[in-house]
Structure 1
Amino acid sequence: MTEHPRAPGMRDVAALAGVSHQTVSRVINGHPSIRESTRLRVLDAMQQLHYRPNRAARALVTSRSRTIGILSTSAAALYGPVSSIGAIQDAGRTAGYYIAVAQLSDLTPASIAAGLDHLLAQSVEGLIVIAPQEVVLEQLERARLDVPYVTLLGGPSSTARELSVDQVAGARAATRHLVSAGHRRIVHLSGPLDWFEAQARVQGYRAELESAGLEPLPAPEGAWTAESGYRLALAALTDPEVTAVFASNDQMALGVYHAAHELGRRIPEDVSVIGFDDIPEAAHYWPPLTTVLQDFTQLGRRSVENLVAEIEGGAEPTAVSLMPDLVVRASTAPVGSAGAGLHASPDVGGSA
């Protein structure tokens, strides 16, 4: 029978680095007394030997799992949550933490409780919640968590544990851009209204039109998908007086493009279209899509920074609200223009 070679251990690393195995242990556990030159020598030896510390053994010794849990909805396949999760994983590794993800198959109280139990059973030291629905926040309150947590993407009101992009400001900037181009009948295609972001974007759309002395139109509810945007736009664009559409995300805006083409309405000559998120494909729509940029990467990174500061230093949780940016491309133009597109971007604000 062929014997498999023994996996390298801590003493092998110590021998190669010319240090004691206690020193290797201190490097692995981030002990502050280790000189930088020694730390680098140990890390180099670990890399040469392909040595990976035993996570379970280290947890027994240190009484810490160094694990952060992510609780996300099944809609985490959307661009925003995916980007934030990727940034959280990168920032977590940099900070020396493992990342465990529990994705909710549905939003029933039982499913949410099961997701939380799954993460807590892994002895997570903190939680990041990417599930911006009221039922999830209610379950968090009922769970009486004994670990720090933060929520991403915004709730109905700002709390100390919330990190978000200002959705109302983004929606107002999008609507203001269209109003400044002379559009007077602007329809907003809403995302699913059990999402806080969708609610906030409807709020911003209405507030901006009212401040301009214009009457908001009904905002039909969609489902974040291109198919949803297509169906809603087919109905909205039958009104010839509607000259602009603000879609609640870029996927819905893609559906608006399809509907406009099917109805023979040119973008932006006959109808201006604006989205939200600035997915990578938005610059490659034809015409390229005007949209609202959210910095999901910074949101994920800041969530880890805040959580680690609370876990390791007992820092008080502080709310973070990032300002979005309007990205002006060729899908918007002044009413009655030849389709030249607008090139001046209103000042929405910089990231916090």
Structure 2
Amino acid sequence: MADVARLAGVSGQTVSRVANGRRNVDEATRDRVLAAMREVGYRPNSAARALRNGQFRSIGVIAFELSSFGNTRTLDAIAAAATSSGYAVNLIPVLHGTPHDLSGAFDRLGEQAVDGVIILIEAHRLDEADVQMPEGMPVVVIDSNADLDYPVVDTDQAQGSRLATEHLLDLGHRTVWHLGGPEDSYAASRRLRSWRQTLIDHGCPVPPVLTGDWSAGSGYAAGRKLAADPDVTAVFAANDQMALGLLRALHEAGRAVPEDVSVVGFDDMEEAAQFWPPLTTIRQFFPEVARRSVDALIEGIRTGEHHHQPVAVGTELVVRASTAPPRR
């Protein structure tokens, strides 16, 4: 830093301000200092800075099922939101979701140089695991109803499910069948409960639930059963990938969409508009969930306090060509 200061003709304090991203340095001076840094090969030492001010400018993320669409989108959005706030992201994957794996992830977290952690794991797995959070570590939980004393940010799953079900009922369908996600999924259970309650609120019969595993293959398997039942005229699938398999099963069975069966998905993945027919679905706002989570965590890091009021990010019905009134 002394070499940079001499070369740039400024004080060591000014070099420190530039190195730490402070704004109280005029642009000409900042450019001169940055040029001097490049010339002498100076790089700010993040470890030394962390020892000095007690912060690493790094966020830990503990996540399960990295291949799922929702988690992938959320992780990508967390990384973007953290980067824009000047934080790096340290990902700690939980491969199988067993209590032992979860405990190991939290143990590893205690060894990482992070200022706080975002947890992206299904509530059921958090409830089952005997885990100890690092003492004093700010924590935010995404997509969970676990009984944890930390801030929770989530998509409003119940609202999205109600929008999907009411859309089909408003078109004139007598009832709506549901292709649900895994039974151990918090998001899937919230969507299922809201679908059932919406039918009850409208005085409609509640059909039996078919369960998939979020994959298009499981949607196809369930879709073959639904396609064989002539009473099925409207289906709400708990995600777009299962809806894709359902569309194939209906097509193979000669059940036209939407003339014979209307289909609604959930997520609004980029490919949903390219399905045939283009899929009516519920849009989740993953970047907003991530931003609210990162903001809450950084606030906890900055103040040492956290608020327990859950944050629910709203959804939106996106109407495309896969839904229509039933045949008369």
TM-score (norm 2): 0.91
Matched residues, number: 326
Query: Residue 191 of structure 1: CA displacement?
Result: 0.5
Match of 2:47 in 1: 56
Query: Residue 172 of structure 1: CA displacement?
Result: 0.8
Amino acid aligned to 1:202: L
| 1:71 equivalent among 56, 62, 65 | 62
Change (3 A) 1:77 1:28: farther
Change (3 A) 1:109 1:38: farther
Amino acid aligned to 2:197: A
Change (3 A) 1:40 1:156: same
DSSP-derived class of the 1:76 partner: coil
Match of 1:343 in 2: none
DSSP-derived class of the 2:260 partner: coil
Cα distance in 2 for residues equivalent to 1:159 and 1:115: 19
Q: In the alignment, does 2:182 pair up with 1:192?
A: yes
Query: Residue 36 of structure 1: CA displacement?
Result: 5.1
Within a 5 Å distance, the mapping from 1:192-341 to structure 2 comes to 192-317=182-307, 318-336=309-327
Amino acid aligned to 1:66: R
Cα distance in 2 for residues equivalent to 1:52 and 1:262: 62
DSSP-derived class of the 2:197 partner: helix
DSSP-derived class of the 2:228 partner: coil
Cα distance in 1 for residues equivalent to 2:262 and 2:43: 55
Match of 1:340 in 2: none
Cα distance in 1 for residues equivalent to 2:51 and 2:9: 26
Provide, for residues 254-297 of structure 1, a one-character-per-residue CA deviation record: whole Å limited to 9, x for no partner.
00011011111111111101000000000111111000001001
Change (3 A) 1:25 1:137: farther
Amino acid aligned to 1:95: S
DSSP-derived class of the 2:208 partner: coil
Query: Residue 168 of structure 1: CA displacement?
Result: 0.8
Amino acid aligned to 2:259: E
Within a 5 Å distance, the mapping from 1:93-112 to structure 2 comes to 93-112=83-102
Cα distance in 1 for residues equivalent to 2:234 and 2:171: 10
Change (3 A) 1:47 1:210: farther
TM-score (norm 1): 0.85
Provide, for residues 93-113 of structure 1, a one-character-per-residue CA deviation record: whole Å limited to 9, x for no partner.
222212100111111111111
Query: Residue 218 of structure 1: CA displacement?
Result: 1.3
DSSP-derived class of the 2:254 partner: coil
Provide, for residues 238-260 of structure 1, a one-character-per-residue CA deviation record: whole Å limited to 9, x for no partner.
11010011110000000001101
Q: Work out whether residues 181 and 333 of structure 1, in 8 Å CA contact, stay in contact via their aligned partners in 2.
A: yes
Match of 1:153 in 2: 143
| 1:118 equivalent among 103, 108, 115 | 108
Percent sequence identity is 41
Cα distance in 1 for residues equivalent to 2:37 and 2:169: 58
Query: Residue 132 of structure 1: CA displacement?
Result: 2.0
Amino acid aligned to 2:266: F
Change (3 A) 1:93 1:42: farther
Provide, for residues 23-58 of structure 1, a one-character-per-residue CA deviation record: whole Å limited to 9, x for no partner.
2223333557x3354784378538956864332232
Amino acid aligned to 2:52: V
Query: Residue 61 of structure 1: CA displacement?
Result: 3.0
Cα distance in 1 for residues equivalent to 2:157 and 2:95: 26
Cα distance in 2 for residues equivalent to 1:42 and 1:102: 39
Structure 1: stretches of 5+ with no match in the other structure: 1-9, 338-352
Q: In the alignment, does 2:7 pair up with 1:20?
A: no
Q: Work out whether residues 13 and 42 of structure 1, in 8 Å CA contact, stay in contact via their aligned partners in 2.
A: no
